[in-house]
């Protein structure tokens, strides 16, 4: 595998672990519950204010801007990770 691919995988796994750490911290959920398929509202118990705060934390942590219309489409852990990975490319 070319060195860049290893670096990209490392960066992506770092993003995933940072996203999950933010979710555990902000929602007070168990780390084992924070899987890619988990919905912020249905599985992790977030309300609308929690989801707004999560988006704001992601923006701050990763130094990105997530427009409101895009933020509305981020409903699961995996969607958040994918969005941030794409934004950081």
DSSP the chain: --HHHHHHHHHHHHHHHHHHHHHHHHH---GGG--TT-BTTTTT---HHHHHHHHHHHHHHHT----HHHHTT--BHHHHHHHHHHHT-
47 is catalytic: yes
Check 47, 63, 68, 86 and give the catalytic one. Answer: 47
Q: Catalytic residues, which ones?
A: 47
């Amino acid at each position: 595998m070319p060195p860049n691919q290893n670096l990209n995988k490392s960066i992506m796994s770092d993003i995933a672990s940072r996203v999950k750490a933010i979710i555990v911290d902000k929602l007070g959920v168990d780390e084992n519950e924070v899987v890619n398929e988990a919905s912020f509202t249905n599985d992790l118990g977030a309300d609308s204010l929690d989801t707004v705060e999560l988006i704001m934390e992601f923006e701050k942590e990763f130094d990105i801007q997530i427009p409101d219309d895009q933020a509305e489409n981020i409903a699961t852990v995996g969607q958040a990770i994918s969005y941030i990975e794409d934004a950081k490319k």
